[in-house]
Every structure is written in structure tokens, then in C-alpha cells.
Structure 1
């Protein structure tokens, strides 16, 4: 039995939107603003690890009401000031926190 590869790009944005109970249009807006991991492939599939970042971005925008520049700054801080182990631990904590938040607490953001 093979172990799961959380870095393999397998999920389209529409599936991620369904997982997050968000609109595809909203996630596309985040993507257009450069808030998601860069994908060079035309298919723009995302990995499980990418989904953690995407859900964090969606949380920051919809619950914490942080604008695109603020989110970019936070993501840069994560990327530049944390080693991989600490970044993954932080994203795991975020994931656990997001699991506890009800869907009604996260509003889909259309105007960003």
C-alpha cells in the first residue's frame, strides 16, 4: 500500500471550493491576486498541502476580514521566517481551528 503524497497536485479549484463551502469565483479572485501557491501547469490543480494554504487564505479574508495586501504579508512571513517543520505545525493548528468553525461563521467574500 502506497502512502499518500500530500504534495501531488490533484484537486481543481471547484473541488476545493466545495470543501470550503466557498464560491469558485471567490477562490479564483484570491488566485488572481496571487494569494495561492503558483501553478505553472495549465490545469491548475492543487495538492493537499496547497489546500491548507488556500483554506487559511479564505479564513483570513472571510472571517478576519484581512485584505489581499495583509494576507500577502502574512504568507510571506510564513514562507520567509519559518522552517518547513514549524510551517507545517502552524498549518496543522490552523486546520484544526478551521474544523471547529461552523460554515455559518465563514462568509463567502465577493468584494475583496
Structure 2
């Protein structure tokens, strides 16, 4: 038995914002546009694996300037055309890119999004 269940939604959006050094309003905007994972229980809690995906969405929007429709398309490709191993490899490589980006380079507040 693993000590941590990476798929259990236990992290509130405010904590996700702190972990990503993002504004809560920005993440709520992603949520309103349907870019964040949705869980069946209805509560807006996120898992560790969700956090990785949210970081990816935030990277696409903030650093790569991808709009909501583009993010939806990328997420669709990620979910429908990559198996678990390929998805993991992609998210890991994106995490490495994110680590190289300084916080000053990512502007987490977008008016035109």
C-alpha cells in the first residue's frame, strides 16, 4: 500500500494557487473555462496528479500564451491519444521546462484570456 494516493482529491484550489505561485483568480478563470479536472464528488478539490495537470495548463496559458480553445485541444490530445506512460513522460518533461522558467517570466494574470 502506498503512503500517498496521488489520485485522491484533497487539495483546495487556494493551496494549488500557492503551490504554483499563481493568483487564485487566474485558476478560478481556468476552472470557469473548463480547463481544470472535474471530480464526481462535486467538491472543488484536486489530487497531486491534478496539480501536475493544472501546472501544465498554467504553463501553456502563462508562458506559451495558448488560449482556452488551444488548451482544450492540447488536453484532448493528451487524454485521448496518449497512453499512461506517454502522458507521464510528457508531463515530466513539461515539469522540467517549468522548473527552468523563472517566476518573473510567467505573468499569472491575463486580461485577454
Same fold at TM > 0.5:
yes
SS at match of 1:43: coil
Q: How many residues align?
A: 112
TM-score (norm 2): 0.92
Q: Contact 1:61 / 1:109 at 8 angstroms: preserved in 2?
A: no
- The Cα offsets for residues 60-106 of structure 1, whole Å up to 9 and x where unpaired, read as 11111110000000000011110011101111111122122111111
TM-score (norm 1): 0.93
Superposed, 1:1-112 pairs within 5 Å as 2-111=2-111, 112=113
Q: Contact 1:7 / 1:48 at 8 angstroms: preserved in 2?
A: yes
RMSD value, Cα: 1.4
Structure 1: gaps (5+ residues): none
CA distance in 1, matches of 2:110, 2:18: 16
Q: Contact 1:30 / 1:36 at 8 angstroms: preserved in 2?
A: yes
Structure 2: gaps (5+ residues): none
Q: Contact 1:52 / 1:91 at 8 angstroms: preserved in 2?
A: yes
